[in-house]
Amino acid sequence: EVTSTFTQGLPKAELHVHIEGTLEPDLKLKLAQRNHVDIGQTTIEDVQKTYQYDDLASFLAVYYPAMNVLQTEQDFYDLAFAYLQRAAANHVRHVEIFFDPQAHTSRGIAFATVINGLYRATVDARALNIDARLIMCFLRDFSKESARQTLAEALPYKEKFIGIGLDSDEHNNPPLKFARQYEDAAAAGLHLTAHCDIDQKDSIEHIRQALEMMDVERLDHGTNIVEDPDLVDFAVRHQIGLTSCPLSNSFVSPEMKGQEVLALLEKGVKVSINSDDPAYFGGYIGDNYYALADQFALTKAQVVQLARNSFETSWISEDQKRLYL
Ligand code: ADE
Ligand code: ZN
C-alpha cells in the first residue's frame, strides 16, 4: 500500500512548477508589507478566501494580480528559496522551475531583477542537495512580438536557464503562434517544452503542433493525448515527457485525470507527477503523488515508475541521470 510517507520520501524530479505559483499566503503578506503594496487583504484567511476558481481563466485572474508584491531581486530570491526548502522536504533531487518574465516586465520590473534573484536561489539550493534549473515561459495570451522581445532580452542570460516553455491562457493561443521563438531558442541551444492544458478547445490540434511542428521534448499536462493513438505512438517513439499535475487538474476540472495517467503509463508514455502551482492548488509534489495513488489505488511499482520517468525526461546530462536511476 502506498502511504504519504512513501510518496514524500521517494527521490524524485519536479519538472512542472511555476515559481509564481509557490507564493504562499504568508510570504505574500510579508512581501506586501515590505514593499508597501496593498493587495486588499491583511490576513492569511482573507487571502485564502480569494482562492476560488473552477477553470484556467478564473485561476489566472487570481494568480497574476498577486504578483505585484514581487518587486526586488531579494523578493524573487526569497520566493524561490522558500519553494526549494519545501522541495527538499519532498525529496526532490532535481527541479526545473518555470518563471514568467512577462508577468513582471509588463508591470515595470526589469528582466535582470527577476532572473538574478531566482538564479541565486538555485545556486544556494546546492546546499539543500537539490540541483535546480530555470525554464523561461512565454505568456501565450501576449503577442508574438512581446515573446520575440522577451527572448531577445533573455538570450544574454542564457547560461542562467536551460529551456523555454509556454503557459497562461491557451484559449485561441495555439503553440504555432510562437513557432519562430521556438526555432530561435532551439538554435541557441535551449530545451523546449509547452503547456497543452487539459480539456482545452483544440487540445489535440495543439498537441499535434507542439510535437510534430515545433519539436518540443515535453508536454506540460498533455494528457488529452490519450484520445489520439497516433500521437500516443509518436510520444512513445520519441520519449516525450508528459508532466501531469493531479491536484491542479482537480481544481480546473471535475477530476485529476488518474485514468488518463494510468492508461499512458500502461502504453509506455513517460508521464510524471508534478505540483504546478502548489500554493494555489493545495499541495506540493509529495501530496500530488499521494492524492493520485490514493484515489486511483496505484501500486508502489507504478509510483516508482512515475518517479523514474521524472528523472528520465528531465534535462540533466545522461551521466547525471545515472546517479538517480
Ligand atoms: N500558469 C501557471 N499555472 C498554469 C497552468 N496550469 N496553465 C497555464 N498557465 C499557467
Ligand atoms: Zn503549469
Over the chain, what is the mean pLDDT? Answer: 97
Residue 324 lies in a domain: no
**Residue 303, all three cell numbers:** 509510483
Residue 325 lies in a domain: no
What ligand is nearest to the CA atom of residue 251? 1
Q: Please check the confidence at residue 97 and state whether its pLDDT lies above 90.
A: yes
Residue 322 lies in a domain: no
**How many angstroms does the Cα of residue 166 sit away from the middle of ligand 1?**
9
pLDDT tens digits, 250-284: 999 999 999 999 999 999 999 999 999 999 999 99
Q: Measuring CA to CA, which residue among 212, 213, 214 is closest to residue 228? A: 212
Residue 90 lies in a domain: yes
Contacts of 215 (CB under 8 A, 6+ apart): 182, 186, 192
- State the pLDDT confidence band at 183, using cuts at 50, 70 and 90: very high
Residue 323 lies in a domain: no
277 is annotated as contributing to ligand binding:
yes
In this prediction the pTM is: 0.98
pLDDT tens digits, 117-145: 999 999 999 999 999 999 999 999 999 99
Residue 281 · residue 249 · CB < 8 Å: no
Residue 147 lies in a domain: yes
Residue 318 lies in a domain: no
Number of domains in the chain: 1
Q: Whose CA is nearest to atom 9 of ligand 1?
A: 168
Contacts of 33 (CB under 8 A, 6+ apart): none
Q: Answer yes or no: is the C-beta of 140 below 6 A from any ligand 1 atom.
A: no
E strand segments, the chain: 12-18, 92-99, 131-139, 163-167, 191-196, 218-221, 241-244, 270-273
ipTM exceeding the 0.95 mark: yes
Q: Which of 243, 277, 288 to mutate to test the pocket of ligand 1 (most atoms within 8 A of CB)?
A: 277
Q: Please check the confidence at residue 325 and state whether its pLDDT lies above 90.
A: no
Any idea what the CATH number is for the domain that residue 176 is in? 3.20.20.140
Q: Answer yes or no: is the C-beta of 313 below 6 A from any ligand 1 atom.
A: no
Domain membership of residue 276 as a residue range: 4-313
Residue 271 lies in a domain: yes
**What DSSP designation does 175 have?**
G
How far apart CA 18 and CA 15 sit, in angstroms, is 10
